[in-house]
Amino acid sequence: MSSVKTAYDKAKAEGRAALVGYLPAGFPSVDGAIEAARTMVDAGCDVIEIGLPYSDPMMDGPTIQDAVHQALVGGARVADVFRTVEAVAETGVPTLVMTYWNPVDRYGVDAFARDLKSAGGAGLITPDLTPEEGGDWLAAADAHDLDKVFLVALSSTDERIEKITAASRGFVYAASLMGVTGARTAVDTGAPRLVERTRASIEKQGLDLPVGLGLGVGDGAQAAEVAGFADGVIVGSAFIRRLLDAPDQASGLAGVRALTADLARGVRREL
Amino acid sequence: MTIDAARGASGVPADSSRTFLSPGTQVPDATGHFGAFGGRFAPEALMAALDELTREFDAAKTDPSFTAELDDLLANYAGRPSLLTEAERFAAHAGGARILLKREDLNHTGSHKINNVLGQALLTKRMGKKRVIAETGAGQHGVATATAAALLGLECTVYMGEVDTERQALNVARMRMLGAEVVPVKTGSRTLKDACNEAFRDWVASVDTTHYVIGSVMGPHPFPMMVRDFQRIIGVEARRQCLDLTGKLPDAVVACVGGGSNAIGMFHAFVPDDDVKLFGFEAGGDGVASGRHAATLVGGSLGVIHGMRTYLLQDDEGQTLETHSISAGLDYPGVGPEHSWLHDTGRAEYHEITDTEAMDAFSLLCRTEGIIPAIESAHALAGAIKVGRELGPDATIVVCLSGRGDKDMHTAAGFFGLMPEGDEAK
């Protein structure tokens, strides 16, 4: 049983959505990222995504671009990603890695899966790999019992949603808008319909798979709105923004803690 | 049949399907794979648009009204067929081999880029989209896209690395004169690859109304195949012109390779001609051994970049390496997947040309033939000198002169010390 799925189920049993927080490894430093992610766990995240810093983050807006650039300039390596996963997973919260495909391809798909598993990682989110090109990864994930989180988009046809949900394990990542990462002032009006279509496809195939919604969510009020129609709320850039804007690490962590608490109230619809 | 004989009384080619004749090779497959290369490593948000583009292109290439419109634009707007010019004085420096220059520099906008852009701009209209975006390095593709957008009444935004906007300032002005918005890209290495990233970011958010006119045989399927099919007219014409002029096929065909669109365009018609050697010349910068270069097939390894599986310049962890070339148009860490396939199957050979070798050839063509080439194309000329010396005086070599060098005068003047300070020193 997927630990990510278990976390979603627990949230559901509590009558709320799961809170999924993203942070890239190595930002603002390897230890700084570990501390920030542990703070996110402590303040109420149910699942953590650790980003693997990559030189060409084609799907990311300026905030995540800045953070991964700092991480790479700081010398972040794949080994640091695994170390970060290990330190976060020790808290008992399921920890995924979100990565563009080339670093995994370069590392060796099976070797990456093996080392992620031994670090205690739960699986991969792959924003530029769809099931069609993902044969090696599907096999490695099955061999090492890892979650395969693929994305669905507002533009996805029903046929594609079916293919993607059939290949997914852990949860399905619904991209709430057509665009790159980064907090927005409002949730796209098409998002509830996408979640509905994805759930219909899951049901039709007799699968049991939660649907998390990400891209653009930045505060508790938006989290509450998303929690009204999705199983999970995914937040990334807003956490990074707190760290980028803070004058020092301590106030950055305080900002991350406060945001997590706000989002945690949001997913419980206490706002 | 010669090109001229293929033309009707109106001057429009009678054989309207000639652009898309696709003999010999069976690549890519239905999912865009050239052997182990290519494919579609793209965000899910773009998949519907890539599927739509694949369908529209398939339909368009067998639609007589589309091919007639494209052929008309190529003939009466871009100025095709381009000439095949014999370069006798230049050839004396290339082992005495017969050198024939395929004059893509004489096309409207000054390079081969217009061939692809006219095709994609027509497709944009066919899909009912109102806006085009493009990435550009040297500015040739950006200028061509801005030109086609002006002609067909489309909005146009061009992404260009900040470093390139500085070294190709004249082309920035040209694009703006043509009504395009030029966005300097300030992320990463601030060159072509970062312009591609930014164009993809725009596209993900604008795909309902916007077509991304990728400028080379790169990106996710169907781009490498589609851009090839729009560029293959270079080789189709050159092959016929060479036969008309010499009575036989050339011994070798030579082109420069960055992303590789002029090279694929030139090579493709010759791929089934086993006796014709195909040579691609990559940007060697300060030399591949120095690490400061952009010679992907010579010095790269297999990976995924910008939506395709191909050779690229990357470190041991899969991070893209910074590249260097005196030529902005070749300063790119990846290469079109069909080149990776031609490389691995051995059908084409790829070598490096250093900045200095390219500039020597640049100068030589200026002074022996009165033709100022683009610095990109100078890499092909430097390669032709090497191939000519190897094959000897009995050989005939067709060289793709992919663009003209007006845009490079600032770089060339600096390189050769022709600035005002240089004059004072004399």
pLDDT tens readout for residues A199-213 = 999 999 999 999 999
Q: Active site includes B357? A: no
Which of B205, B303, B317 is facing A180, going by the closest CB pair? B205
Question: Which residue, A218, A181, A243, A220, is CA-closest to A35?
Answer: A243
> What chain B residue is nearest to A104 in terms of C-alpha separation?
B318
**Read out DSSP for A134-182?**
-HHHHHHHHHTT-EEE-EE-TT--HHHHHHHHHH-BS-EEEE-SSS-SS
State the pLDDT at residue B25: 53
Degrees to nearest 5, angle at CA B337 with B333 and B341: 120
Q: Per DSSP, which regions of chain A are E strands?
A: 18-24, 47-51, 95-98, 123-125, 147-149, 151-152, 172-175, 211-214, 232-235
Question: Nearest residue of B to residue A163 by CA position?
Answer: B44
B303 and A102 within 8 Å at the Cβ level: the answer is yes
| Interface with chain A: mutation pick from B31, B33, B41, highest number of A CBs within 10 Å | B41
Mean pLDDT for A94-108 is 98
Among A171-185, A236-250, B324-338, B393-407, the least confident range: A171-185
Best residue in B37, B44, B322 for a mutation probing chain A (most A CBs within 10 Å): B44
Check CB contact under 8 Å for A72 and B188: no
Taking only Cα atoms into account, the Rg of chain A, rounded to an integer number of angstroms, comes to 17
Q: How close is the nearest chain B Cα to the Cα of A171, in Å?
A: 16
Predicted local confidence at residue A111, as pLDDT: 98
B402 in active site = yes
Contact: B305, A61; criterion CB under 8 Å: no
| B187 neighbourhood in chain A, CB within 8 Å | 65, 69
Same fold, B28-58+113-227 and B84-109+231-421: yes
For an interface test with B, the pick among A82, A133, A198 (most B C-beta atoms closer than 10 Å) comes out as A133
**CATH fold for domain B28-58+113-227:** Rossmann fold (3.40.50)
Average pLDDT over residues A81-87: 98
B369 counts as catalytic: no
Residue of A nearest to B322 (CA): A55
Check B113, B193, B277, B407 and give the catalytic one. Answer: B113
The dotted CATH code for B84-109+231-421 is 3.40.50.1100
Integer CA distances (angstroms), B241 to A30, B27, B101, B107, in order:
62, 26, 11, 16
Q: Does the pLDDT value for residue A69 go beyond 80?
A: yes
In this predicted structure, what is the pLDDT of residue B37? 97
How many folded domains does chain A comprise? 1
Please state whether B249 falls in left (phi above 0), alpha (psi between -120 and 50) or beta.
beta
Residue of B nearest to A181 (CA): B201
Q: Classify residue B117 by burial, with Cβ atoms within 10 Å: 0-12, 13-18, 19+.
A: buried
Domains of chain B, residue spans: 28-58+113-227, 84-109+231-421
Find out whether A180 and A201 touch, Cβ atoms under 8 Å.
no
Chain B residues at the A interface, defined by Cβ less than 8 Å, are: 31, 39-49, 187-188, 193-194, 197, 200-201, 204-208, 303-307, 309, 314, 316-320
Phi-psi region of B417 (alpha: psi -120 to 50; beta: other; left: phi over 0): left
**How far off is chain B from A9, nearest CA to CA, in Å?**
26
What residues of B are in contact with residue A179 (Cβ under 8 Å)? 201, 204-205
Nearest chain B CA: its distance from A154 CA (Å): 7
Contacts of A10 (CB under 8 A, 6+ apart): A18, A46
Q: pLDDT digit of tens for each residue in chain B (426 aa)?
A: 333 333 333 333 333 334 454 544 578 999 999 999 999 999 999 999 999 999 999 999 999 999 999 999 999 999 999 999 999 999 999 999 999 999 999 999 999 999 999 999 999 999 999 999 999 988 999 999 999 999 999 999 999 999 899 878 889 999 999 999 999 999 888 889 999 999 999 999 999 999 999 999 999 999 999 999 999 999 999 999 999 999 999 999 999 999 999 999 999 999 999 999 999 999 999 999 999 999 999 999 999 999 999 999 999 999 999 999 999 899 999 999 999 999 999 999 999 999 999 999 999 999 999 999 999 999 999 999 999 999 999 999 999 999 999 989 989 999 999 877 645 433
Of B42, B207, B307, the CB nearest to A178: B207
How far off is chain B from A108, nearest CA to CA, in Å?
10
The SS3 assignment for A21 reads strand
| Chain A CB contacts of B207 below 8 Å | 155, 178
- Chain B CA closest to residue A159: B48
Q: Quick check: A105 and B304 CB within 8 A?
A: yes
The answer to whether the CB of A115 falls within 8 A of the CB of B317 is no
Query: What does the block give as tokens for A256?
Result: 């991350």
Q: Across the interface, do B48 and A105 touch by the CB < 8 Å criterion? A: no
d(CA A113, CA A101) in angstroms, rounded, equals: 13
Residues of A in contact with B208 (CB under 8 A): 178
CA atoms within 13 A on the CB side of A107: 23
**Coil, helix or strand at residue B240:** helix
Contact of A173 with A150, CB cutoff 8 Å:
yes
Residue of A nearest to B190 (CA): A56
B320 contacts A178? CB cut-off 8 A: no
CATH number at residue A157: 3.20.20.70
Q: What is the pLDDT of residue A183?
A: 79
**Catalytic residue (one of A42, A46, A60, A128):** A60
What is the distance in angstroms between the Cα of B42 and the nearest Cα belonging to chain A?
Answer: 5
Residues of A in contact with B49 (CB under 8 A): 155
Contacting B with CB below 8 Å, chain A residues are: 54-61, 65, 69, 72, 77-78, 101-107, 127-130, 132-133, 150-157, 160, 164, 175, 178-180
DSSP 8-state assignment for residue A227: H
Distance, CA of B44 to CA of B54 (rounded, Å) = 16
| Catalytic, out of B135, B237, B352, B369 | B135
Of B40, B48, B201, nearest to A156 by CB-CB distance is B48
Give me the mean pLDDT over the A247-266 stretch: 97
Residue in B42, B187, B204 nearest the CB of A179: B204
Q: Do B44 and A157 lie within an 8 Å CB cutoff? A: no
Look up the domain containing A108 and give its range. Answer: 3-267
Q: Do B44 and A65 touch (CB under 8 A)?
A: no
Backbone angles phi, psi at A250, to 5 degrees: -65, -45
